[in-house]
């Protein structure tokens, strides 16, 4: 244990330590030498772990099960409550966060991480503690998910690091311009919108009109412009590529969003400049229709008020003259009948 090629990490009784910065780049998400602080999610029952220097460059190795480690006396003294399911469990079945001080049972942590991976939210997986912003390392994620899920996690992580992927097949690409040619599926697509490559730009009016006619529930992220397809759910969207949170209807940043902003008049007064070819256009159109309809109604009432009296007077005079003509015609007809009867 004192060999020169080994570092000894000894975890003292549970004591919160300073978390790593949430803004830490994904490229730094590897096991680093022990001169730095321990990752935020650690084994609550861990006592002593040996880490060799080779791990700093090699892929993360499988971690032993939590209940197979030597328990710590101070943590094992009593059962603790899981911060996710709120059920008490023995300390040997728990893991704890050194950042927020929360404890989680193994099953809840595994489910939490698998859901994050399935949803593609792998850029920065945070501690499941309420309000905790500490970022979990690949090393600890590997210790709580299955091999298949961890392989999927690594694939998604690589796609995020590469920055650009082929929209049809999802493979990383090295193209830097708007025209993307994928060597894997031989597809040529537009790097800005993800559609088949087109000569005219994505901001062209004719192209926006075409997208409005062809797309259904596919809209672009206002921040990174990656296309997002929505299948049910609420209007609170989180882009899995850049983690930007926005409203699906008005595309306003969620931290500045209110329900009133989705209404036409409020939308026009908002600070959002993301007027894409989707819901915002419909919101503006609806606003214009409402204003135009109100104006037309007001003008119609004014015209009716101005025209009604002359029209009523004209109809009255016309009816009076018509009745007089009818009376004269009836008198003439009666006179003719009397003459015929006398003859």
Please compute, for residue 44, the number of CA atoms within 13 A of its CA located in the half-sphere on the CB side. 26
Mean pLDDT is lowest, of 89-103, 132-146, 268-282, for 268-282
**Residue tagged 């400049």 (tokens):** 273
HSE-CB at 83 with a 13 A cutoff on CA atoms is: 16
> 27 versus 288: which is more confidently predicted?
288
Across residues 146-163, what is the average pLDDT?
77
Give me the residue label for tokens 């009593």: 78
pLDDT at 262: 65
Place of tokens 């993307």: 180
Where b means 16+ CB within 10 Å and e means fewer, 10-43 reads ebeebeeeebbeeeeeeeebebeeeeeebbbbbb
158 and 173 in contact (C-beta within 8 Å)? no
125-139 mean pLDDT: 81
Question: What is the set of domains in the chain, with CATH numbers?
Answer: 7-162 (3.30.40.10), 186-282 (no CATH)
Task: Categorise residue 121: left if φ over 0, alpha if ψ from -120 to 50, beta otherwise.
Answer: beta
Highest mean pLDDT among 69-73, 157-161, 238-242, 287-291: 238-242
d(CA 22, CA 28): 12
User: Is-contact 197 179, C-beta < 8 A?
Assistant: yes
Least confident of 52-56, 92-96, 205-209: 52-56
Tally: H helices and E strands in the chain? 6, 13
Render pLDDT for 258-282 as a digit per residue (tens, 0 to 9).
765 565 544 454 444 444 334 445 5
Element (H, E) at 9: strand 7-10
- Average pLDDT of the chain, as a whole number: 67
The per-residue pLDDT for range 63-72, each reduced to its tens digit, is 333 332 223 3
Q: How many CB atoms lie within 10 A of CB 153?
A: 22
């Amino acid at each position: 244990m004192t060999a020169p090629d080994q570092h000894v990490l000894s975890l003292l009784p549970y004591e919160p330590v300073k978390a790593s910065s949430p803004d830490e780049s994904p490229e730094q998400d590897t096991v680093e030498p022990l001169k730095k602080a321990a990752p935020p999610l650690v084994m609550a029952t861990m006592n002593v772990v040996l880490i060799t220097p080779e791990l700093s460059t090699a892929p993360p190795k499988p971690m032993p099960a939590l209940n197979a480690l030597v328990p710590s006396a101070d943590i094992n003294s009593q059962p603790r409550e899981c911060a996710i399911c709120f059920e008490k469990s023995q300390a040997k079945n728990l893991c704890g966060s050194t950042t927020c001080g929360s404890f989680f049972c193994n099953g809840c942590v595994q489910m939490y991480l698998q859901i994050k991976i399935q949803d593609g939210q792998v850029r920065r997986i945070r501690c499941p503690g309420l309000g905790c912003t500490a970022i979990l390392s690949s090393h600890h994620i590997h210790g709580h998910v299955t091999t298949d899920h961890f392989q999927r996690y690594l694939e998604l992580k690589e796609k995020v690091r590469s920055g650009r992927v082929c929209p049809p097949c999802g493979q990383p690409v090295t193209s830097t311009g708007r025209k993307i040619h994928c060597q894997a599926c031989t597809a040529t697509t537009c790097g800005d919108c993800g559609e088949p490559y087109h000569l005219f730009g994505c901001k062209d009016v004719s192209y926006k009109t075409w997208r409005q006619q062809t797309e259904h529930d596919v809209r672009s992220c206002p921040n990174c412009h990656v296309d997002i397809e929505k299948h049910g759910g609420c209007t609170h969207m989180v882009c899995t590529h850049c983690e930007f949170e926005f409203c699906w209807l008005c595309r306003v940043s969620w931290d500045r969003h209110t329900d009133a902003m989705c209404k036409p008049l409020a939308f026009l007064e908002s600070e959002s400049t993301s007027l894409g070819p989707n819901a915002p256009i419909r919101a503006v159109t609806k606003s214009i229709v409402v204003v135009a309809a109100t104006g037309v109604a007001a003008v119609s009432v004014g015209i009716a008020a101005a025209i009604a009296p002359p029209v009523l007077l004209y109809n009255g005079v016309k009816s009076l003259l018509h009745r007089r003509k009818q009376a004269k015609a009836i008198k003439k007809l009666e006179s003719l009948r009397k003459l015929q009867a006398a003859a």
